[in-house]
Chains A and B, each alone.
Chain A
């Protein structure tokens, strides 16, 4: 397992990959907007998922985007997972 991650870094990474994917500046990515509001669907979320899995060396599945539907809740989830909370 990779070293513990800071919550801020996780959030930053998620914002970056979302921004890259939807081609909008990072500053415009709100932490409380739902993934589907950014235009994520069952196809491009697969790509997002792959990047998250590789970056955090973790295994997740599509349904997590519905269980943790915002960058804020997803970051908190990843934070807890990575720090064994």
Chain B
């Protein structure tokens, strides 16, 4: 039996026992498909920080896939265009330039007031609803409203942007089928068209927000093409969407299941920031990251060869008991520092502060106003994405 069976329905509903098996029995595991599955904290962290491994595999794979499927009368070109300047998929030296560029343009981090306003708006919509769902009415709409505001795009477009973003982020998953690629392609074309129009509007009328700052900065620095700028915008839109839905939604589910922990938070709301870190450590939304070996290396006695693919299970690393005592337990009063939910090294998440702020404000809203909320059905309903794991629904009673 293969230790790595991520598509097995049991593992989809709960991959943690599989991670644990791997971590304890074969932490540098060669799957039958040839990829290496890395599950221990120290190994995952050292690979993320090492210059001997690179990202970028997804773009190469897509390029090859596009050439192949052209012969089958299927055109996936829009996917390559949409992801061509995803910072996450680019290696140095280009990565260093692009990352600096985005950091420089993103100079306004005062967003708490806007988030509060969005939460209030959402509250009006869901208050008293009999069919209330944490995901549909709260966790899903909130992040896209916030990022739209930051980017400077109209709030009315959020629903559409959210749907496209949800389809497109699947491109980062490990195993996509042709039918997934078809959906990803559609979302790519729609998003590209949307941002093309947006750039035209900015050129004609000027505008506010991060995108207009990026466009301005670009004139005097990198001189990226519109195509590249659009890809950057698409990534900024989607990077914090499903991930934050996961932090809030899965967080609310875990706090419901672990009643004693929820009580800690209702009794001591001041521990919220630590609680968010612990929720991210215990069950963060990003589970798997991909890397390619740049040269031959040895890891725990295994010979990794140049070009080999590695799948890093950050959700497993975060429960490694040699790093975190009782790692499989949620404990809001522990110090979960240095968890890997946002990655590590040069690709460390650029939106961690935003995710944590928004996550804390969202949970505060629920914990303060509805400390006895009930989740109506605790059988989780996970979306079809192994890499970014989020609930598709979480019906609840707010009390």
Contact = CB atoms under 8 A, between A and B. Distances in A.
Which of the listed residues A42, A47, A66 has the most CB atoms from chain B within 10 Å of its own CB? Answer: A42
Contact of B175 (A47, A50, A61, A69): A61
B32 interface: yes
Interface residues of A, number: 13
Contact of A61 (B7, B31, B72): B7
Nearest to B67: A43
A44 B64 CA distance: 10
Contacts of B179: 50
A46 interface: yes
Given A43-B64, A44-B68, A66-B32, A61 B5 contact: no
Interface residues on B, range: 10 to 19
Interface in B1-21: 2, 5-7
Interface in A61-83: 61-63, 66-67, 69
A71 to B, nearest CB: 17
A17 interface: no
A63 B68 contact: no
B175 A49 contact: no
Interface string A8-41: 0000000000000000000000000000000000
Contact of B178 (A42, A46, A63): A46
B33 interface: yes
Contacts of A49: 177-178
B153 to A, nearest CB: 34
A46 B31 CA distance: 18
Interface in A40-62: 42-44, 46-47, 49-50, 61-62
Chain B binding surface, main DSSP class: loop
A1 B31 CA distance: 32
A6 B175 CA distance: 30
A66 B68 contact: no
B313 to A, nearest CB: 16
B85 to A, nearest CB: 23
A47 B181 CA distance: 11
B178 A47 contact: yes
Contact of A66 (B6, B31, B176): B31
A62 B301 CA distance: 29
A42 B180 CA distance: 14
A33 to B, nearest CB: 16
B127 interface: no
B385 to A, nearest CB: 13
Interface of B: 2, 5-7, 31-33, 61, 64-65, 68-69, 72, 175-179, 181
Given A47-B69, A63-B175, 18 more contacts: A42-B33, A43-B61, A46-B65, A46-B176, A46-B177, A46-B178, A47-B68, A47-B178, A49-B178, A50-B177, A50-B179, A62-B175, A63-B6, A66-B2, A66-B31, A66-B32, A67-B2, A69-B32
